[in-house]
Amino acid sequence: MKDKMTIFTKGIIKENPVLVLLLGMCPTLAVTTSAINGLGMGLSVIVVLTCSNIVISLLKKAIPGKVRVPGYIVVIAGFVTVVQLLLKAYLPELDESLGLFIPLIVVNCIILGRAEMFASKNPIVDSMLDGLGMGIGFTMALGLIGLIREFFGAGTAFGIQLGTEITPMGIFMLAPGGFFVLAMIIALINWLSKGRAIKKKEIGCDVCPMIGTCSGICEKEEAGA
């Protein structure tokens, strides 16, 4: 039971996909101009990530190793289409503001990364928990960045006007503001964890994007030395 809890919670803070693993930077920087956008993007990713993790975990024996990445992409693309159609039907405004970034979830490296590194090696329940945890971590990070940028850049929080006396700083709504806020939060997390958040041992080879092509020679050498 404790193992299951660790699988679930590691994605939220310890291995937060955005703030610690630095995956999925593209949607992180592009859609976080408001807290609602950030949370909307995050929720879509939770759904896609959890569902695709479950299905890929189920199919891990059926998909041949050589074509596994196209196989995963097909599964992920299926769920992204479902999410996009749902958004179009029930939340057209959110769909409008997220725009191209909903279809682009297909190539979001968090989802493909978790499929490759976790779901294809672990049982269904673990994969589902991993997807949920990582998705929640992603959502929280995007919501936080979105809230900060919205607060400084537009003077609102979740679309509610907070006062009109002070002119908001427009630069927070632009690309430099996105980079700046992201960098500040990462710096803060590193400072709070005294640099331990990003440590090789805790992350290990499991989450390395090069694991498919890496022979692990250096790892063995390190172990030998």
Task: Tell me the one-letter amino acid at 79.
Answer: F
**Smallest separation, CB 152 to other proteins (Å):** 9
Among 161, 167, 213, 215, binds other proteins (CB under 8 A): 167
Query: In whole angstroms, what is the distance from residue 116 CA to residue 125 CA?
Result: 16
Instruction: List the one residue out of 111, 138, 140 whose CA is nearest residue 53.
Output: 111
Residue recorded with tokens 């479950």: 54
The minimum distance between CB 175 and other proteins, in angstroms, equals 11
Q: For the beta carbon of residue 157, count every other beta carbon within 10 angstroms.
A: 16
Using the rule CB under 8 A, give the single segment among 5-13, 91-99, 112-120, 161-169 that binds other proteins: 161-169
Cα separation, 222 vs 79, in Å, equals: 40
Least distance to other proteins, CB of residue 171, Å: 4
Reduced to 3 states (helix: H, G, I; strand: E, B; else coil), residue 156 is strand
Q: CB nearer to other proteins: give 33 or 120.
A: 33
3-state secondary structure at position 27: helix
Nearer to other proteins (CB atom), residue 133 or residue 178? 178
| Contact flag: residue 171 with other proteins (CB under 8 A) | yes
Note whether 185 binds other proteins by CB under 8 A: no
How many CB atoms are closer than 10 A to CB 190? Answer: 15
**Shortest distance, CB of residue 173 to other proteins, whole angstroms?**
9
Minimum distance of other proteins from residue 111's CB (angstroms): 34
Nearest in space to 38 (alpha carbons), one of 157, 128, 152: 157
**CB within 8 A of 214, min separation 6: which ones?**
205, 208
Q: Assess 123 for contact with other proteins (CB under 8 A).
A: no
Q: Is 29 in the site for other proteins (CB under 8 A)?
A: no
3-class DSSP state for residue 60? coil
Q: Is 170 in the site for other proteins (CB under 8 A)?
A: yes
Residue count at the site for other proteins (CB under 8 A)?
8
CB of 120 to other proteins, least distance (A): 41
Would you state the structure tokens that stand for residue 103, as one six-digit string?
Answer: 């279809």
Please identify, among the stretches 17-25, 133-141, 169-177, 205-213, the one whose residues bind other proteins according to the rule CB under 8 A: 169-177
Rounded to 5 degrees, φ, ψ at 130 are: -60, -45
Binding residue for other proteins, selected from 63, 73, 91, 174, defined by CB under 8 A? 174
In the complex, the smallest distance separating the C-beta of residue 174 from other proteins, rounded to whole angstroms, is: 7
Nearest CA among 167, 133, 169, 166 for reference residue 149? 169
- The residues binding other proteins (CB under 8 A) are 166-167, 169-172, 174, 176
